[in-house]
Structure 1
Amino acid sequence: MVTAAYATYGGAYDCDVLVIGGGIIGLSTAYALTRAAPGTSVVVLEKEAGPAHHQTGRNSGVIHSGIYYRPGSLKARYAVRGAAEMVKFCAEYGLAHEVTGKLIVATDREELPRLHALVQRGRENGIPVRELGPAQIAEYEPRVRGVAAIHVGTTGVCDFGAVAAQLAEVADAAGAQIVCGEEVRAVDRRPFGVAVRTSSGRIVRARALVNCAGLHCDEVARLAGDEPAVRIVPFRGEYYELDRPELVRGLVYPVPDPAFPFLGVHLTRGIEGTVHVGPNAVPALAREGYGWSTVHPRELAATLSWPGSWRIARRHWRYGTGELYRSLSKRAFTEAVRRLLPPVAEDDLRPVAAGVRAQAVLRDGTLVDDFLIQEAPRTVHVLNAPSPAATASLPIGREVARRALAHLA
């Protein structure tokens, strides 16, 4: 049960571990803490009226296999492990899910070397991959066209918002308190513990702090007195829904450009039977900028003042121009989709809710590729956890919980 208030624990502290952020990573951390160390008192502070309002609740619902990620990286290890665990978690709690598999399709011969590299990467990560020719593509997706493809059998779909709600319920039953409607405004860290002040003026004291604030994680780190070497630069992903869902049977992806952390416009049949098309990736004008009309001057100024933002723009302006054009032109977006699915017409696409990716960027303009978890006294900061973080949330939560518990020793 998600509550709007918390009870004060006895003694000098209100809780052992305070988690900031009620998305899937924060809730998975609380879940892991209650399982790894029963009796540890945990409070989760979420600024919205309920959990999973941002990245967790605004994605395509794909349980990623781990094929894209560098062997040995946290993304590769946690995604492969997390995909299996996510399917098991959904089955255990009766949450809707399906292991569908997916196609990654090369639409021209220039993409074949990158497709073959994915085959090798998948095998290095222990993922079963089947290579397909055009006729075999049609066996899976009769209306999709490509010169070659690979089939990844361990990919699936679920509702990550429902997963987050279930994590909150289980953690609550184990004694954690999920407190909504409380935004952290100040952090006071001392050698013996951490205290935060929320938007309502409440003070919560903890022996250790975990920062899972997603789109605002770098700001929370600075509130705690730490200066992360990254800045969150928000990228909006815009989606359409296919009015003729019968055109697609499952999940269809293009071959991604390895220079970017984005997977390109893809087709995703969700657990409810609708087909989402997207996302593209354009700069958001606010951390929660789900449309061009949402502009937060302070947040935009912070993004523009970060040297890495300008270096991204200079380095990738051609790619960015194409993404902006597809954002502003439905016809251009449709043409991008037609490379994979020729029967699609502009009238087949209906706009639906967008999402925003919290992308950590270094000062030199490097897009942080892997998950990034950093520690400071009495504190664990999760500073980069975009996709496939939802897929990998259970192992990420265990790792963050392990680090937080070490600060209690």
Structure 2
Amino acid sequence: MVHVRSAVAYDCDVLVVGGGIVGLSTAYAITRAAPGTRVTVLEKEAGPARHQTGRNSGVIHSGIYYRPGSLKARYAVKGATEMVKFCAEYGIAHAVTGKLIVATERDELPRLHGLVQRGRENGIPVRELGPAQISEYEPEVEGLAAIHVGTTGVCDFVGVARQLAAASGAEIRYGARVERIDRRPELGVAVRTTAGDVIRARVLVNCAGLHCDEVARLAGDDPEMRIVPFRGEYYELARPELVRGLVYPVPDPAFPFLGVHLTRGIDGGVHIGPNAVPALAREGYGWGVVRPRELGATLAWPGSWHIARQHWRYGAGELRRSVSKAAFTRAVRRLLPAVREDDLVPAAAGVRAQAVLRDGTLVDDFLIKEGARTVHVLNAPSPAATASLPIGREVARRALAVLGDG
């Protein structure tokens, strides 16, 4: 049992759990907004950005997909500009490439037009293209129509996370897995790690990503959601010359996933994906990674079954592409007819920490909640890396408000 006594010697003012890009951006924002605030970051891995931050396609999203006025829309649009400036300032690899969103079926055309309207509402410059104009940007890509979004880019998000860690002035402890949290609203929070260390803080900030709901419950707060993990499976293109930049399909509005897309990264390689399938563990980067306790918790959450019943047809297609490279190749050929099955080389997978409500609602926006002496970031999947600087400032604002109230 961890005890916080009445005469507390605090180890820090704000304790951040999670050393991904959102946690590190929060630490960075706190020390800039309130110099002298003592911040400690606990990260269970041996280095930063080992999960969602470091296992994605590296895209700086424009914000075109997100509902006007939502946190995702506001923070992605602002965050994209800030991310490019941050990378330029610190010499982190990045490029503003623009991207195509391509309709390959007639029933996608109204949704494509809807994206044009949404982009304009969000203040994003969009150019509409016909079939011939698509080939000006991407000679090997075919479609009925497309839009070009000029503000999209790519960067090294792991490099960004490292720079945030270095520039924050926070104490960062790697290999520090949280085991127990004892919160006393009148005093503060004490956290014990699996190594037996106890850290006492005035305020706890939960940026634990794939484990954020578990950390919230450890702190005594009911997050009223569960993380349901979805694995994103990628291939690398053996003939990267087929793709010049970034090419996306028109997304299905019923899902938070953007579909299988083509991404030329800062290293010049082209990644294709992600395919989205249920993961059998929160860090289940392959079918062979199964953690019965985590899988059992997912299956016990009513929202998981609501998703399965409502979206089984969509999920069946994703599963088919997961187990069949030929099926995955057919999906890619809708955008890139020249691709062959042997062009696809398996690449590292990622896992999306998707918040799901009890009724099966997939939480669409970023979700941040506060408790006594706590601030919890409960839904921050893509485009959180793009939006990490403004998200960090918002979480920092809330943490400092809680700190001031204490």
Match of 2:306 in 1: 311
Q: 1:408 deviation in Å? A: 1.3
Q: Return the alpha-carbon distance in structure 1 between the equivalents of residues 224 and 120 of structure 2.
A: 33
Q: Return the alpha-carbon distance in structure 1 between the equivalents of residues 298 and 246 of structure 2.
A: 34
Match of 1:365 in 2: 360
> Identity percentage over the alignment?
83
Q: Return the alpha-carbon distance in structure 1 between the equivalents of residues 340 and 112 of structure 2.
A: 27
User: Is 2:49 the counterpart of 1:52?
Assistant: yes
Q: Return the alpha-carbon distance in structure 2 between the equivalents of residues 110 and 41 of structure 1.
A: 54
Letter in structure 2 aligned against 1:53? R
Q: 1:227 deviation in Å? A: 1.1
Q: 1:288 deviation in Å? A: 0.2
Q: Per the alignment, in what secondary structure is the counterpart of residue 353 of structure 1?
A: coil
Match of 1:225 in 2: 220
Letter in structure 2 aligned against 1:36? A
Q: Return the alpha-carbon distance in structure 1 between the equivalents of residues 224 and 145 of structure 2.
A: 41
Q: 1:11 deviation in Å? A: 6.7
User: Is 2:157 the counterpart of 1:186?
Assistant: no
Q: 1:228 deviation in Å? A: 1.0
Give me the TM-score of the superposition, normalised by structure 1.
Answer: 0.97
Matches within 5 A, 1:246-261: 246-261=241-256
Match of 2:4 in 1: none
Matches within 5 A, 1:280-359: 280-359=275-354
Q: Per the alignment, in what secondary structure is the counterpart of residue 407 of structure 1?
A: helix
Q: Per the alignment, in what secondary structure is the counterpart of residue 294 of structure 1?
A: coil
User: Is 2:157 the counterpart of 1:160?
Assistant: yes
Q: Return the alpha-carbon distance in structure 1 between the equivalents of residues 94 and 331 of structure 2.
A: 28
Match of 2:204 in 1: 209
Match of 1:17 in 2: 14
- Select 1:392's aligned residue among 384, 387, 404: 387
Q: Return the alpha-carbon distance in structure 2 between the equivalents of residues 94 and 225 of structure 1.
A: 42
- Select 1:403's aligned residue among 365, 374, 398: 398
Q: Return the alpha-carbon distance in structure 2 between the equivalents of residues 204 and 17 of structure 1.
A: 10
User: Is 2:174 the counterpart of 1:177?
Assistant: no
Letter in structure 2 aligned against 1:114? R
Q: 1:149 deviation in Å? A: 0.1
Q: Per the alignment, in what secondary structure is the counterpart of residue 287 of structure 1?
A: coil
Matches within 5 A, 1:136-147: 136-147=133-144
Q: Return the alpha-carbon distance in structure 1 between the equivalents of residues 402 and 128 of structure 2.
A: 47
Residues 68-126 of structure 1: CA distance to partner in whole angstroms, max 9, x if unpaired? 00000000000000000000000000001000000000001110000000000000000
Give me the TM-score of the superposition, normalised by structure 2.
Answer: 0.97
Q: What is the root-mean-square deviation in Å for CA atoms of aligned residues?
A: 0.8
**Structure 1 unaligned blocks of 5 or more:** 1-9
Matches within 5 A, 1:12-91: 12-91=9-88
Q: Per the alignment, in what secondary structure is the counterpart of residue 348 of structure 2?
A: strand
Q: Per the alignment, in what secondary structure is the counterpart of residue 375 of structure 1?
A: strand
Q: Return the alpha-carbon distance in structure 2 between the equivalents of residues 215 and 79 of structure 1.
A: 21
Q: Return the alpha-carbon distance in structure 2 between the equivalents of residues 149 and 198 of structure 1.
A: 51
Letter in structure 1 aligned against 2:370? E
Q: Alignment length, in residue pairs? A: 397
Letter in structure 1 aligned against 2:33? A
Q: Return the alpha-carbon distance in structure 1 between the equivalents of residues 13 and 275 of structure 2.
A: 41
Q: 1:44 deviation in Å? A: 0.1
Q: Return the alpha-carbon distance in structure 2 between the equivalents of residues 297 and 279 of structure 1.
A: 25
Q: Per the alignment, in what secondary structure is the counterpart of residue 163 of structure 2?
A: helix
**Structure 2 unaligned blocks of 5 or more:** 1-6
Q: Per the alignment, in what secondary structure is the counterpart of residue 280 of structure 1?
A: strand
Q: 1:209 deviation in Å? A: 0.4
User: Is 2:123 the counterpart of 1:129?
Assistant: no
Q: Return the alpha-carbon distance in structure 1 between the equivalents of residues 226 and 207 of structure 2.
A: 15
Q: Return the alpha-carbon distance in structure 2 between the equivalents of residues 100 and 42 of structure 1.
A: 36
Residues 33-77 of structure 1: CA distance to partner in whole angstroms, max 9, x if unpaired? 110000000000000000100000000000000000000000000
Q: Return the alpha-carbon distance in structure 2 between the equivalents of residues 12 and 165 of structure 1.
A: 30
Q: Return the alpha-carbon distance in structure 1 between the equivalents of residues 86 and 131 of structure 2.
A: 36
Q: Spell out structure 1 runs of 4+ moving beyond 3 A.
A: none
User: Is 2:196 the counterpart of 1:198?
Assistant: no
Match of 1:383 in 2: 378
Residues 169-211 of structure 1: CA distance to partner in whole angstroms, max 9, x if unpaired? 111xx3x101000100000000221000001000000000000
Q: Per the alignment, in what secondary structure is the counterpart of residue 228 of structure 2?
A: strand
Residues 108-145 of structure 1: CA distance to partner in whole angstroms, max 9, x if unpaired? 11100000000000000000000000000000000000
Letter in structure 2 aligned against 1:115? L
- Select 1:150's aligned residue among 124, 147, 152: 147
Q: Per the alignment, in what secondary structure is the counterpart of residue 281 of structure 1?
A: strand
Q: Return the alpha-carbon distance in structure 1 between the equivalents of residues 49 and 357 of structure 2.
A: 26
Match of 1:3 in 2: none
User: Is 2:114 the counterpart of 1:117?
Assistant: yes
